[in-house]
Structure 1
Amino acid sequence: MIDPDRPAFGVNYVPREQWWNAWLDFDELSIVDDLAAIAALGCDHIRIQCLWPVFQPSPTSVSATAMSRLTVLLDRAHDAGLEVWVTVLNGFLSGWVFRPPWMPRGNLFTDPLAVSAAKTMVGAVAELVGTHPAGAGIDLGNEPNMLVGFEPQQVTEADLDGWARTLIGSVRSAAPNVPVVLGADHQPWTTSEVGFSRALLANEPDITTVHAWPYFSGFIGHFGEDNDLAWSIGAYLAQVAAAHQTTPRPIWIQEIGIAPEWVTDVSIEHATERLLRNALSVPAVTAVTWWASHDIHRHHGGFADLEYDLGLIDVNNKIKPTGHRFAEVIADLRTTPRPPLPTATVRLTPHSPANLDFATQWSKSWSPTQPPQITI
């Protein structure tokens, strides 16, 4: 994850049988088959998701059953040759919102009970990850900034930053050698919506992460799917994040993917290849993790339609054409020399979001082999 000459490639694992309700209806044999298919793609790591209410049914304890099942998953991933990043405090995932039942009204980011519970949870998982050979690191939560709109009280940037600093400290206290990251979505970088500060995201976790979705970011609609710039979102957000770093550090494109319904003029395979190659055009990018490993079975109702077909592997555990293209491209990128440093620069006004207007300015110097560097 931290060596620019050896980029890491993986997937966000979605169990094909039960989505992440697999923690409740646990099927080890199905998981073993899933992980074998992921390894066959050439992946070296997976990112997995805990469900907060399942893992922490009370604010003062962590479920022994859920932790045991997490250990089994780590064991089976190790058998498959995969490292595992564990995302812990998930209140937002695949478009669903989760809230621990013991915190029906309090603010998850500031209420003393919620913060104490979160420290207990991340500490317990960090201790396990830190002692397991497959444990790669801890992600505090999947896009926790998305929960701001669901909180019963107002949440500020300072609240979010304070929450993140507290929990980063808890991970480092429980497992000093375990890297810790924070998986926010694109909005703190590109909008003025309340979120974590860009300075915190860029500088306080051990690796800077970005979630680079061509549709949710607006890049497909803004540039058009026939334009290579539609598939430059990984390179763009990596450059935005790098510009906010006070000291250079690795950048992990933690989520990137494409839904079939987003394209009509280009193939999913083409979009997949361009997203991957453009992302690796930024020298600071040391890891890319695709969303997702598997499709979600249609008999699990309630998800938005786009969520069902994001996988590289289908619900029968067969690699899709998109998965084959993914495997071919990452194999090639592993042997391709990393790109040179960019020669063009584009200045972002301090404290301004890197919105689509700025992306247009950046795009004027776009090169798929040397995207322009963003400075502040």
Structure 2
Amino acid sequence: MPDRTVPHPTPRHADRPPGAPHRVRFGVNYTPAQGWFHHWLDFDLDAVRADLDSLAGLGLDHIRVFPLWPVFQPNRTLIRPRAVDQLVQLADAAAERDLDVNVDGLQGHLSSFDFLPAWTRTWHRRSLFTDPDVLSGQAEYLRTLAAALADRPNFLGMTLGNEINQFSDGPHPDPDRITHEQAAAWLERMLAACERGAPGRLHLHAEYDAAWYRDGHPFTPAQAARLGAVTAVHSWVFNGTAQRHGPADTATEHHAAYLIELSKAWATDPHRPVWLQEVGAPTSHIPEDGVARFTEATVVNALDCPDLWGVTWWCSHDVARSLADFPELEYGLGLLRNDRTVKPAGRAVAALAEEWREAAHRPPVRGTALVVDAGGAEAAPRRSVCAPGGVVFEAWAKLATQGVRPALVLAEHADDTAHLRSRRITEVRTPDEVG
């Protein structure tokens, strides 16, 4: 599978030699304080500006934005010009506050709710990943959004969608099941559509951690680490990590760092950038009085990973209690309250953003690598060894507890001298050796 790295176009992120020091980006997933993502139905630019002012006040440099797919493309051949113009207005308002913008296209799934257009469901039910008409509609939608922003200097690029892999497999109650070959074909076609719309931008895809942890899942680690401009990881410790290890354990506070390092095991470019694109502190598993500690520890541990592109916290503003039926944990994930006052997690992120604003990111090499045997690099049929409770995860956490700073390497490369040298790995250990 080819590695489709796209150079970043903006001056503040000019191309640099592999492994050279760079400035890590700090940003947030933008959840509007007024109306949540339903704000697209009653778009209020003044309210958006107030939100962006509160984010700029934290010292952040970018936001990730979520158009609702059914609102923007209610019919397969209708992409609403007014909605696209509102997206551009939001991006321009961000630019006025020195905030760059990444746009997620196919929403998709957000905070337990699915947002799929009527032309893909019920009487018009057809696969999101293989139906020719759906594919052409998706590709044109992504191309249109990318093209609308292509001339904006603060436009980073497109993410195909928010964890759209959840529609391809269980535990979703009604998935469109596909093979990993079909998933790869879908990703390649959609990334190409984004590139047509805005050539040379940072176009990528992002999955929830089933891609890394769930045996048989059609979206694979190899796709995540080799397709698109950067690798995106989404870290949520309610996946069994906090339940097994507790809220303040090394494994919990290093989960994001573990995913960053796990992605590098599958990357063909030893210096491929990794974006911690979504990470948060769910109070269902992190006590309120421990949120600031967890936030700081998670980010600091991620910063200890080489080739980190940036950290984008979930999320900007709390969900208003006036909105019904969200899982309880979703209401309190914001860096700011619904009234835009700053919370402890927001102060922690702001302090780190200030500390690292001009700092060069070049953490020490991770010379010890743990072997990952997932049953093959492409399909990874035994990737559950990497999940919380799996032998790879638990061995990595044990080494991290001992202060080892472990990397990860596929079993296929464990004896490949050239591969190990390219990653500056000098010691290889198996989970059995770790004990």
**What residue identity is the alignment partner of 2:91?**
L
Partner of 2:394: 360
How many positions carry a matched residue from both structures?
375
| 2:188 alignment partner in structure 1 | 165
Deviation at 1:117, TM superposition (A): 0.4
CA deviations on 1:232-279 (whole Å, 9 max, x unpaired) are 111100011011001131000000010223124961111111111111
Question: Considering only aligned residues, what root-mean-square deviation do their CA atoms show, in Å?
Answer: 1.8
1:98 is displaced (CA, Å) by 1.5
- SS of structure 2 residue aligned to 1:252: strand
Counterpart of 1:131 in 2: which secondary structure?
coil
Cα separation, 1, equivalents of 2:176 and 2:362: 46
How far apart are the structure 1 equivalents of 2:246 and 2:276? 22
Query: Match of 2:237, SS?
Result: coil
Kindly provide the amino acid, as one letter, of the partner of residue 242 in structure 1.
Answer: K
Q: 1:189-208, aligned counterparts within 5 Å?
A: 189-208=212-231
Q: Distance in 2 between matches of 1:152 and 1:210?
A: 22
User: Quick check: 1:268 aligned with 2:300?
Assistant: no
Q: Is the CA contact (8 Å cut-off) linking 2:28 and 2:315 kept in structure 1?
A: yes
Measure how far apart 1:220 and its partner are. Answer: 1.1
State how far apart, in whole Å, the 1-side matches of 2:300 and 2:97 are.
Answer: 26
Q: Does 1:123 align with 2:155?
A: no
Structure 1 counterpart of 2:133: 113
- Render the CA deviation track for 1:280-313: whole Å, top value 9, x for unaligned: 1101212110000100101011211111100000
In the TM superposition, what whole-angstrom CA distance separates every residue of 1:203-234 from its partner, at most 9, and x where no partner exists?
Answer: 11100100011222x22122222322211111
2:370 counterpart of 1:346:
yes
1:227 maps to 249
**Farther-moved stretch of structure 1 (149-158 vs 139-148):** 149-158
Aligned runs of 1:25-44 on 2, under 5 Å? 25-44=42-61
Structure 1: which 5+ runs fail to align? Answer: none
What is the TM-score with the length of structure 2 in the denominator? 0.83
Distance 1:96 1:48 in 2: 17
Q: How does 1:229-244 map to 2 (within 5 A)?
A: 229-244=251-266
* CA distance in 2: counterparts of 1:83 and 1:272, whole angstroms: 22
Pick the structure with greater CA Rg: 2
Asked whether the equivalents of residues 224 and 232 of structure 2 are also in contact (C-alpha less than 8 Å), the reply is: yes
Give CA-to-partner distance per residue, 1:339-370, whole Å, 9 cap, x none: 10112210001433112221111122216976
Secondary structure of 2:157's aligned partner: strand
2:36 corresponds to which residue?
19
Match of 2:152? Answer: 132
Question: What corresponds to 2:409 in structure 1?
Answer: 375
Query: Given that residues 162 and 207 in structure 2 are in contact (C-alpha distance below 8 angstroms), is that contact kept between their aligned partners in structure 1?
Result: yes
What SS does the aligned partner of 1:282 have?
Answer: coil
Q: Deviations over 1:118-171 (max 9, x none)?
A: 011000011122111221110000000111235465322222211111111111
Distance verdict in 2 for CA 1:325–1:369, change over 3 Å: farther
1:313 corresponds to which residue?
Answer: 336
Stretch deviating more after TM superposition (152-161 or 279-288): 152-161
The code of the aligned residue for 2:249 comes to N
In structure 2, the CA distance between the partners of 1:370 and 1:289, relative to structure 1 (3 Å rule), is farther
Q: Is the 8 A contact 2:26 2:62 kept in 1?
A: yes
Counterpart among 62, 78, 85 of residue 102 in structure 2: 85
Please give the alpha-carbon distance, in whole angstroms, between the structure 2 residues aligned to 1:21 and 1:96.
Answer: 12
- Structure 1 partner of 2:206: 183
CA distance in 1, matches of 2:27, 2:195: 24
Relative to 1, partners in 2 of residues 1:29 and 1:370: Cα closer, same or farther, differing over 3 Å? Answer: farther
Q: 1:151 to 1:131 in 2, by over 3 A?
A: farther
Q: Aligned pair in 2 of structure 1 residues 292, 212: CA closer, same or farther (>3 Å)?
A: same
The answer on whether the counterparts of 2:250 and 2:397 sit within 8 Å (CA) in structure 1 is no
TM score, norm. by length of structure 1: 0.95
* Identical columns (%): 32
Structure 2 equivalent of residue 74 of structure 1: 91
Is the Cα–Cα contact under 8 Å of residues 296 and 308 in structure 1 kept in the other structure? yes
Whole-angstrom CA distance in 1 between matches of 2:348 and 2:356: 12
State the alpha-carbon separation in 1 of the partners of residues 173 and 361 from structure 2. 45
